[in-house]
Amino acid sequence: MQAVDIDRRRLGVNFTGEGLATVRLWAPKLEEVHIRFNNQTMPLLPEAHGYWTLTTPNLQPGDDYEFITPNGKAIPDPASLCQPYGVHGASRALDLAAFAWTDHKWVNPSQDDYIFYEIHVGTFSPQGNFQGVIEKLPHLKALGITAIELMPVAQFPGTRNWGYDGVFPYAVHTTYGGARGLQELVNRCHTLGIAVVLDVVYNHLGPEGNYFKEFGPYFTSKYKTPWGEAINFDDAHCDDVRRFFIENVLMWFRDFHIDALRLDAVHAIKDFSPVHILKAIRQEVDAFIQNHWCMHYLFVELDLNDPRYIDLVKRGGYGMDAQWADEFHHALRVTTGQERSGYYADFQGVGHLAKAYRDAYVYDGQYSEHRLKCFGIPATQQAGNKFIVFSQNHDQVGNRMHGERTSALVSFRLLKVMAGATILSPYLPLLFMGEEYGEKNPFQYFVHHGDPQLIRHVRRGRREEFAAFHTRGEAPDPQSESTFINSKLQWDRLQEDEHQALFHYYQALIELRKKHPAFHHLDRFALEVFCEKEANVLVLHRWHHSDHAWCAMNFSKSAQPVALVEDQPLLNVLDSGDAHWKGDEPSPSILHAGSFILPPESLVVYTGKYD
């Protein structure tokens, strides 16, 4: 593979600043190719390895264009920055360098300080676009969020989608506000001290509007994935496919000032190259960081308990900065008494939650009944900031048949316990939009495809997916606009007493995490966990030097005795049973003995200082 230019985008249409447009297309399948714009058609010139190029003063920012194949077919640019007419229409040329950034003093926070807030742009605000997110940034700042995480924004079919059906990895969806809207959002976030994480999909491309095969071998039949043929990262012609996605990574950091990427389902990436594509991405990003004196992170969704993905490159790893830790969520959910169907059947409640606190991975070599094999290896060398944990996220909510949020599944008391269990963990916490005030609307799976056969396939697929989890009822129609509308946040809920109390409780939890040394420092080894399986009680003891904190959690419906094994007075610094948070059974404000009675479905944090 030819060296990637980390300082400029080379694929697609770009502008030199001297009134010239450069066009560069990888299309080794084509014997000739033309570009059509402004009622004129011009041939592209062939280069080595299947590239076609053109330099012209006639193509300007804002002009629409498309490529013409030898059979006369008009196809949009696979590296398009804008698809104003949808996934089947012409592309539009943009000059990304034209945006007037004002974030020159911005410094990306330390990874340890990331507190994520996951957002689906279309359902987060009434407007359903980047401007709607901008208007809610003061709310997120007041909550204490340090990083928003946007679900994928790459151009997808129609006007509503989770984003994982994107077919133009470089084009920001026009319904959301396009490239300029995303740049404005990032700029505003940086003004308020909030980082921006973007969810990107490099394991597959959506089915509708996917024209990649017209140009070249972007896919390989060597492997099968849930979405069909795998993206070609290690077969013939893979060098230029790898380049396509590496340039995409660099574009987000360079041209959009994105602070971190969340790479979707990297376990589904098939690559047996000597240098795995993730490692190659890591190396190019490291070069970009060194060249630009700015920090950027790479986070991954990973359904493998394999620390190779997050280990350092010098130790043989792929160098990803952190991974989503689904098993923490699964253990926490089962501990609260929710059903143990599907993959939740592998989890045994508070004992597994205690293991998630100690070891990050619940399964690190044990036999999994769900997977029917031994699964995972220990992550003993990985720091706490290598794992991102949550009590809910878009997958765990939206992949339920009816998309019920946790607020519809457990009591108000348990919502507070689950929030504390996540935010006060030795890992990086992620909140799903609306959870901070107990949003009641579901988050359901929705699409807006134009192909009737594909719509039928999606509907059937959703029914089959739920077979292991649900036995009654019908899934909402993914294609129906009402499914999308029903998934929008109800911001007026914040005016109601209980929801407002929950929001203030989340504020207090986040403030405690930031301010108390025992919670702020993510030392997985300055930690003890005690649990009583029969009582469904867990005590998390964390410390930093002489600062100690005990977080006692009662997941049961009855009061339980708890022993903290300390004989000096401890101060109650946060109590879910306090009246401030609509609680009615507070724990002692000062603990003079080492034991006390913890009220049902409650969490309390005691702190002390000793050598």
What structural domains does the chain harbor? 12-97 (2.60.40.10), 518-609 (2.60.40.1180)
Question: Does residue 470 carry a pLDDT above 70?
Answer: no
Confidence of residue 1 (pLDDT cuts 50, 70, 90): low
Distances (CA, A) of 414 to 254, 332, 333, 433, 441: 43, 11, 10, 18, 18
Which run of H or E residues covers position 53?
strand 51-56
Q: Give one DSSP letter per residue of 309-363, joined into a string.
A: GTS-GGGTS---SEEE-HHHHHHHHHHTT----GGGGG--THHHHHHHHHHS-S-
Question: Does residue 418 carry a pLDDT above 90?
Answer: yes
Confidence of residue 462 (pLDDT cuts 50, 70, 90): confident
pLDDT at 4: 81
Give the closest residue to 137 by CA, choosing from 88, 92, 186: 186
Coil, helix or strand at residue 181:
helix
Distances (CA, A) of 240 to 211, 236, 605: 16, 10, 54
Is the Cα dihedral 280, 284, 286, 287 positive or negative? positive
Secondary structure (H, E, C), 208-259: CCCCHHHHCCCEEEEEEECCEEEECCCCCCHHHHHHHHHHHHHHHHHHCCCC
If you average pLDDT over residues 159-182, what whole number do you get? 98
Question: Does residue 492 carry a pLDDT above 80?
Answer: yes
Record the tokens describing residue 160, joined without a space.
């509503």
Q: What is the DSSP letter of 12?
A: E
Give the closest residue to 356 by CA, choosing from 304, 306, 309, 426: 426
pLDDT tens digits, residue range 233-245?
999 999 999 999 9
Question: Does residue 155 carry a pLDDT above 80?
Answer: yes
pLDDT at 444: 97
Question: Does residue 420 carry a pLDDT above 80?
Answer: yes
pLDDT tens digits, residue range 13-52?
999 988 899 999 999 999 999 999 999 999 999 999 999 9
Whether 504 and 512 have beta carbons less than 8 Å apart is answered as no
pLDDT tens digits, residue range 88-128?
999 999 999 999 999 999 999 999 999 999 999 999 999 99
How far apart CA 290 and CA 287 sit, in angstroms, is 5
Q: What is the DSSP letter of 301?
A: -
User: Where in the sequence numbering do the catalytic residues fall?
Assistant: 264, 301
pTM: 0.97
b vs e for 10-44, b when ≥16 Cβ sit within 10 Å of the residue's Cβ?
ebbbbbeeeeebbbbbbbeebeebbbebeeeebeb
pLDDT at 593: 79
Of 5 and 528, the structure prediction assigns the larger pLDDT to 528
Question: Does residue 471 carry a pLDDT above 80?
Answer: no
Burial of 542 (0-12, 13-18, 19+ CB in 10 A): buried
pLDDT at 468: 56
Record the tokens describing residue 561, joined without a space.
């005795």
Question: Does residue 539 carry a pLDDT above 80?
Answer: yes
Q: What is the DSSP letter of 290?
A: H
Coil, helix or strand at residue 119:
strand
How far apart CA 509 and CA 421 sit, in angstroms, is 10
Contacts of 100 (CB under 8 A, 6+ apart): none
Confidence of residue 576 (pLDDT cuts 50, 70, 90): very high
Coil, helix or strand at residue 545:
coil
pLDDT at 453: 94
Contacts of 280 (CB under 8 A, 6+ apart): 242, 246
Q: Give one DSSP letter per residue of 270-289, joined into a string.
A: ---SSS-HHHHHHHHHHHHH
How far apart CA 9 and CA 467 sit, in angstroms, is 45
Give the closest residue to 487 by CA, choosing from 119, 132, 149: 119
> Any idea which of 251-255, 385-389, 566-570 has the lowest mean pLDDT?
566-570
Confidence of residue 7 (pLDDT cuts 50, 70, 90): confident
Residue numbers in the known binding site for substrate are 262-267, 326-330, 394-399
If you average pLDDT over residues 577-583, what whole number do you get? 96
Which run of H or E residues covers position 137?
helix 130-143
pLDDT at 528: 97
Give the closest residue to 336 by CA, choosing from 426, 235, 407, 243: 407
225: left (phi over 0), alpha (psi -120 to 50) or beta: beta
Give the closest residue to 212 by CA, choosing from 201, 224, 204: 204
If you average pLDDT over residues 198-219, what whole number do you get? 97
pLDDT at 11: 97
Confidence of residue 342 (pLDDT cuts 50, 70, 90): confident
pLDDT at 6: 86
Q: What average pLDDT does the structure give for the chain?
A: 96
Which run of H or E residues covers position 519?
helix 517-520
If you average pLDDT over residues 283-308, what whole number do you get? 96
Question: Does residue 2 carry a pLDDT above 80?
Answer: no
How far apart CA 524 and CA 190 sit, in angstroms, is 30
Q: What is the DSSP letter of 96?
A: G
Pairing of strands 297-300, 219-225: unpaired
pLDDT at 611: 76
Pairing of strands 45-46, 12-15: unpaired
pLDDT tens digits, residue range 397-415?
998 999 999 999 999 999 9
* pLDDT over 90, % of the chain: 92
Which run of H or E residues covers position 373?
strand 373-374
Residue numbers in the known binding site are 262-267, 326-330, 394-399
Phi, psi of 168 (to 5 degrees): -130, 90
Question: Does residue 194 carry a pLDDT above 70?
Answer: yes
Record the tokens describing residue 534, joined without a space.
């029969």
If you average pLDDT over residues 166-195, what whole number do you get? 98
Report how many helices (DSSP H) and strands (DSSP E) the chain contains, helices first: 14, 31
Record the tokens describing residue 220, joined without a space.
């390989």
Report CA 340 to chain centroid distance, whole Å.
25
Question: Does residue 472 carry a pLDDT above 90?
Answer: no
